Amino acid sequence: MPKTQKPRRPAPPAKKGRRLPPVTAAELLLEIGVEELPYQFIAPALAVLKDSAEQLLKDHRLAFQSARTLGTPRRLTLVVEGLATQQTSMVKEAMGPSKAVAFDQAGQPTRAATGFAAGQGVAVQDLQICRTPKGEYLFAVKQEQGRPANLVLEELLPQLIAKLSFPKAMKWNNTGVRFARPVRWLVALYGGATLPIEAAGITAGNRTEGHRVLGSAKGIVVRDSESYLKGLERQGVTPDPQRRRHMIEEQIATLCKETGFTLNVDGDLLDQAVYMTECPNAIIGSFKPAYLEVPQEILITSMKEHQGFFSLRHKETGKLVPHFIAVTNNRAKDMGLIREGNERVLAARLADAKFFYDKGLETPPADLVEKLRGVMFHQSLGTLYDKMERTEKLVEILTIDTGNHGVIDIFRRSARLANTDLLTAVVGEFPTLQGVMGGEYAKHAGEDPRISKAITEQYLPRGMEGAIPESLNGKLLSLADRLGKIAGFFRVGIVPKGSEDPYALRRDALSIVRILVEGDLPLKLEPALDKAEEILAKSNIKELKVGIAQGPFDFIVERLRYYAGTAGGIKRSDVIDAVLTPTNTHALSFKELLERMKALEFVTAKPEFDPLIVGFKRAHRLVEKEKNWVRQPVNPALFQHPSETQLREAWEKNDQLVRHLLVERKYSKVLEAFVSMKPAIDDFFTAVMVNADDRSIRINRLSLLKDIDDLFLLFADFSQIVVQGS
């Protein structure tokens, strides 16, 4: 008999795995792969890419933690961390007709209500009545659920790419899309999944390209930013511009330490190296020492502008050495071949530069003056010779105005020779050497050292950048040239509009401001500008000021306003407005105006200042508001309260004192005098009513306040000052 089998126990149920929390955020990676971009385009494009992405995501209710960009000549990349997987839901309220219009007397909806409901896509019975400041109105309240982020991104990313613009763009296929260079591939990943967006005729995938020489022809498949960065590094690409910058700086520092040379630091050249490479590798090369006979500015400029090479100096003497550093976009076993190639190319460039320089030595600057007649400066302003004559006359006037009669001939000759280097081959090849080469050629021709120095300094400063001219001759030459240029273009109706300023008049105006403020010159703008305009009129330059609202004087004063708020360190715009009254700007030097701003801003921090301004503004408003009165000399016999006498005495005590202190430019003392008048002003307004019924008393009190008003206005328009907290 078979054994009875025991019944088997049922197997225990399998343990269920832990349920993972739902994914609420993921990473977005977008790469635009292109043919090599001009290095100047990359940094601005990355800034626009980041700002536009952040704004688009916010506008479409997609929350994110952070956004950053990466870029090389062949790629513009956006990485967004912690991007929500769902749009934030929102409630939309639309206001419709009033309740009275929406329902008839029987309480039935009218056509206004039904039409509003249909337009909003809701049923009439779902409309809500809400009370508003205007009364009861109908509202359509709709809950808009957030859409999945991947669907939203498929719509947004093509828009984001389209937002990128460049100084120069091109078309390369039948899509008609314009971009700086042809787009060759797109990568779009969200949470590791490909977003099949399309732009410029290309559908995005998950494959990118490595270095053109060091990378694999197959490219790289990426899943996220981590695999993207690591994969590109293996393929010879460093995508992060800041990391490339650090690599270049370290490589250059190592080369300088090994050789004992020092780098001729150039921020623009470093930017160029960062954005022209994907795999930066700095090497040192050399050129023939014989080229050091050429002025170093030519060698430095030739190395920079033609080849993008860094120049080097001797550590102790500071003189240029016959070596250079090049940042290559390659990493080869034998870098010697690359170095030799760079040396050969540079040798040809330096040979050309030396030839151009030597050619210029054959003709002294004085012999080139007449040839300026054959070069047009501007069709409405004549030739370079005409411009030179106007500048020469203005330099003479400014020299006399500064009390330097003994050097008039020297300063006039500086102006006469200033632009002759524009006719030389070396300036034709290197326009940035204008002035520098003029000074060199003048020195070689045996001109007075003051002349060669002024010619060298004539283009200084370049707006907010760099130092101003050191010599008086250089300052006056720079001023005369720029004043004549601005006055001339304004006279013929050519002025900056919006962002357009083809003749760099704003930069010239800012340079004028800097020379007048920082140059320790006893010159005021208006008389100097008047002389420039008078010279233009005598030169038969036709006046074509059609539809120009602002003249050259106000145009330059606006640059002073900008300078005061930046380099001048004035943080309060109301202080700048208070000092830059028409009376002040026409009567004072720019240096005096800035000194007044600094003194006024300092005193605004004192606790007693704001109450003083409140009292002054009250006096100012009363005087300005009251129209039916004629100012009369203040008559003490009409005073009816001691506070009137007290205010009159305060004015008498400070009137001449303030005028004397203003002449001596003791502006802090002036403001102390104003503050000392606060009790008298307060007591006056507490004790009396200005608009008294008796007309003679009212006019007397208004005249007294007008005296106070005029005294304060000698310094600034205090009505422009904003009382803090008001």
- Phi, psi for residue 612 in degrees, rounded to 5: -65, -45
Q: Pick the closest to residue 671 from 723, 598, 571 (CA basis).
A: 598
Helix (H) or strand (E) holding 202: strand 202-203
The pLDDT tens digits of the residues spanning 400-426 come to 999 999 999 999 999 999 999 999 999
Average pLDDT over residues 686-691: 89
Q: Which domains are seen in the chain, by residue range? A: 25-87+148-234 (3.30.70.100), 90-144 (no CATH), 241-361 (no CATH), 374-569 (1.10.3210), 596-720 (1.10.730)
- pLDDT of the residue at 119: 86
- Spatial neighbors of 337 by CB under 8 A, at least 6 apart, are none
pLDDT bucket at 2, cuts 50 / 70 / 90: very low
Tokens 């090599």 sit on residue: 36
β-bridge partners, 98 = 137
The better pLDDT of the pair 481, 618 is held by 481
3-class state of residue 397 by DSSP: helix
**Mean predicted confidence (pLDDT) in 650-660:** 95
Is it the case that residue 14 has pLDDT exceeding 80?
Answer: no
How many CA atoms lie less than 13 Å away from 108 in the CB half-sphere? Answer: 3
Grouping H, G, I as helix, E, B as strand and the rest as coil, residue 293 is helix
* 7 has a pLDDT exceeding 50: no
pLDDT at res. 99:
85
Residue 5 has pLDDT above 70, yes or no: no
Mean pLDDT of the region 236-259: 97
508-556 per-position pLDDT tens digit: 999 999 999 999 888 999 999 999 999 999 998 888 866 666 899 999 9
Q: Is the predicted pLDDT of residue 6 greater than 50, yes or no?
A: no
Please, which pLDDT band fits residue 428 given cuts at 50, 70 and 90?
very high
Residue 234 pLDDT > 80: yes
Per-residue pLDDT at 1 exceeds 70: no
pLDDT at 8: 45
What's the CA gap between 328 and 287, in Å, rounded? 18
Query: pLDDT tens digit string along 165-195?
Result: 999 999 999 999 999 999 999 999 999 999 9
Average pLDDT rounded to a whole number, residues 348-354? 95
Give residue 18's pLDDT band: very low, low, confident or very high (50, 70, 90): low
Q: Is the pLDDT of residue 4 over 50?
A: no
What pTM did the predictor assign? 0.80
